[in-house]
Amino acid sequence: MKRFAGAALAASIVAIAANGAAADEYRMGLITPPPHQWTVTASVVADEIRERTDGRVDILVFPSGQLGNEAQMLQQLQTGAMDFAFFTLGEFANRDPNYGIFLAPFIVDDVAGARKLLKGETAQKLLDGMADFGLAGLGWGMAGMRMIVTSHEVETVEDLKGEKIRTIPFAPELAFWEELGAAPTPMPLPALYDAFANGQVDGMQIDVEGTWNSKYYEHAKSIIISDHMMFPMASIASGRKWAAMPEADRAIVEEVFSEKLDGLVAGYADIDADYRAKLETTDVPVKDVDRAWFGPAVDAWYARWREEAPMLKELEAEAAGM
């Protein structure tokens, strides 16, 4: 009997040890579809973290808003019902205007400038500030530089006045289009193709990657390469779940996210060039414009947002010194 009890106890100890070493499953949410670079990067991150932690940290990636929109996912992150996410700036900028400063028009010229700014002091302050939302900030990524696609021919910025331009419901982005005299029209990305095809919107602020992959060019008459804004992405973790993760695993997770996010941002220089070349094979004219093309709207935007988001001045000074 004693021998049997000892064997049973030993088996229990082995089982407990095995359970302690078993993988913890974590859920990561995104609104982007599987082919998008954010989703591709999330999958690469999950695979490498799983390997480097010997399976202790097993991140399951849920793209295309499967876990809800960003407002819903933010609530899940705050309660610990969800663990990681790649977010646009909307839910943060609409709560604290300082998180909208990366949308400043022409704050950088290109992806290389965006990469430097997203690794700078102001970006780090905002990342640290994620604690105020009950989150842990892991780093900044981005999508391609913003450009414009319209269903009619556009020669001057005056041609955009009164036009319904699909945007994301960020206050700084809406304000930019209002300064141009357009009618910014927020709508979910999955609804955009049909809305553009049937005339619900006259155009969109978008990137070349999305324009090609979602075939928006099929209903376009103008593609305007303006590179007028960057489009940052915040990589975040639930503060509750992050605090509960063993320190050694947190170090690995931070390192992998940092490395892959930097690669994502850097890669957009080639990604944008590649998708632009593809768009130039269509029948839609592709036109380059610069800051002057937008007229006084850019300066008017800055005059307003320097007051509404005080950290914009810090970001401008940082950009000027690059």
Q: What is the pTM of this model?
A: 0.88
Percent of the chain scoring above 70 in pLDDT: 93
Specify whether 218 is located in the same domain as 287: yes
Count of structural domains within the chain: 2
Residue 42 sits in a domain whose CATH number is: 3.40.190.170
- Give the pLDDT band (50/70/90) at residue 207: very high
Backbone angles phi, psi at 119, to 5 degrees: -110, 10
Q: With contact defined as beta carbons under 8 Å apart, do 242 and 148 qualify?
A: no
Q: How high is the pLDDT of residue 189?
A: 82
Specify whether 241 is located in the same domain as 223: no
Specify whether 207 is located in the same domain as 95: no
Specify whether 224 is located in the same domain as 236: no
Closest to 303 in 3D by CA, of 206, 183, 186, 176: 176
Specify whether 72 is located in the same domain as 217: no
Residue 264 has pLDDT above 70, yes or no: yes
Residue 188 gets the label, from left (phi > 0), alpha (psi -120 to 50) or beta, of beta
Q: What strands, in cross-sheet order, belong to the sheet with 222-225?
A: 183-186, 164-167, 203-206, 147-150, 222-225, 286-288
- Give the pLDDT band (50/70/90) at residue 190: confident
Specify whether 217 is located in the same domain as 244: no
Query: What are 268-296's pLDDT values in tens digits?
Result: 999 999 999 999 999 999 999 999 999 99
Long-range contacts of 190-199 (CB under 8 A, 24+ apart): 190/64, 190/65, 192/166, 192/216, 195/166, 196/149, 196/151, 196/166, 196/220, 199/151
Q: With contact defined as beta carbons under 8 Å apart, do 131 and 239 qualify?
A: yes
Strands 231-238 and 222-225: unpaired
Query: What are 38-75's pLDDT values in tens digits?
Result: 999 999 999 999 999 999 999 999 999 999 999 999 99
Least confident of 9-18, 72-81, 165-174: 9-18
**Domain limits at 194?**
147-229+278-320
d(CA 219, CA 203): 10
Specify whether 192 is located in the same domain as 263: no
Specify whether 196 is located in the same domain as 253: no
Specify whether 236 is located in the same domain as 122: yes
Residue 295 CB neighbours (<10 A)? 15
Specify whether 75 is located in the same domain as 202: no
Among 255, 274, 293, where does a domain finish?
274
Query: What are 101-130's pLDDT values in tens digits?
Result: 999 999 999 999 999 999 999 999 999 999
